[in-house]
Amino acid sequence: MGELYQNYAQFFYLMFTSIVLILLLSRYERLSETLSQLIRVRSQLHSKQVVEILQKIKKSVFTLKEGVEVFNDIFGWSILFTIFSCVSRTLIYINIIIKHSEVRDSQVALSYYHDCCRILISWVGILSTILLCGSILKKCDEILAKTYRLEVQFSFYENKEMQVFIDAVLHNRPEFRAARFFSIDRSTLFSVLNSLTTFLLVMIQFKQM
């Protein structure tokens, strides 16, 4: 019963994590699109209008940064435990398959296949979380690149405001963390797979001994 509750809670957190990340990504995409529109219509706007738009975008950057910090506080531990749980369970079942090949022919094979499906769902959730975090970070890089493109079109008065805006974007970049132990980006996936492969090689060596 306790294991079923754990699996349900893990699945719920994975689903809710992906939903929140999709919402954050949509907000960053909207900021990027706003900057693109500003670049296109820059020549048709007065300096005051441009500054007002930049100030609104800057407030959104601050708000999204706070949202990412809240996300880390709520989901950081669950992401960390999900990664550790998924890796450990994967190693356990690979070890069972390696050392007990008769399991595939026994009556409990269905139970092992069921557990493997749950592990696969957990891996899909982890992959989704990592890729969404990476997409948000990539979108922030696009926002910064568009900001630098916009800077060359500004007058002296506007350029002062632009420098303030650039500093705000640079110092409020989102950083996703797993309970403050490590950052979550696309490289996290390769780190996890590297650790999994290392333990797997050790297991195979012990089997041969």
Residue 73: which pLDDT band, with cuts at 50, 70 and 90? very high
Q: Are 156 and 163 in contact (CB under 8 A)?
A: no
pTM over 0.75: yes
In the prediction, which pLDDT does 63 show? 93
What pLDDT digit, counting tens, does each position of 103-141 carry? 555 555 666 677 777 888 888 889 999 999 999 999 999
pLDDT band at residue 200 under the 50/70/90 scheme: confident
Interatomic CA distance for residues 171 and 102, integer angstroms? 57
- Is the CB of residue 73 less than 8 Å from the CB of residue 30? no
- Give alpha helix (H) positions in 152-185: 156-171
**Which of 111-115, 137-141, 178-182, 198-202 has the weakest average pLDDT?**
111-115
Q: Which residues contact 188 (CB under 8 A, 6 or more apart)?
A: 130, 182
**In this prediction, what percent of the chain has a pLDDT beyond 70?**
81
Task: Give the up-direction half-sphere exposure of residue 149: CA atoms within 13 A in the CB hemisphere.
Answer: 14
Q: What is the rounded CA–CA span in Å between residue 8 and residue 122?
A: 11
Q: What is the DSSP letter of 80?
A: H
Token reading at 9: 């809670």
pLDDT score for 135 = 94
The mean per-residue pLDDT over the stretch 51-78 comes to 90
Supply the angle between the helices 109-151 and 47-99 in degrees, to the nearest 10: 160
Decide if 176 contacts 185 (C-beta within 8 A). yes
Q: Would you state the pLDDT for residue 65?
A: 93
* 37 pLDDT more than 90: no
CA distance 186 to 138: 10
Q: Write the pLDDT tens digit of every residue in 138-163.
A: 999 999 888 888 777 665 556 677 78
Type of residue numbered 84: F
> d(Cα 15, Cα 17) in Å, to the nearest integer?
5
Q: Label residue 83 by pLDDT band (50, 70, 90).
A: confident
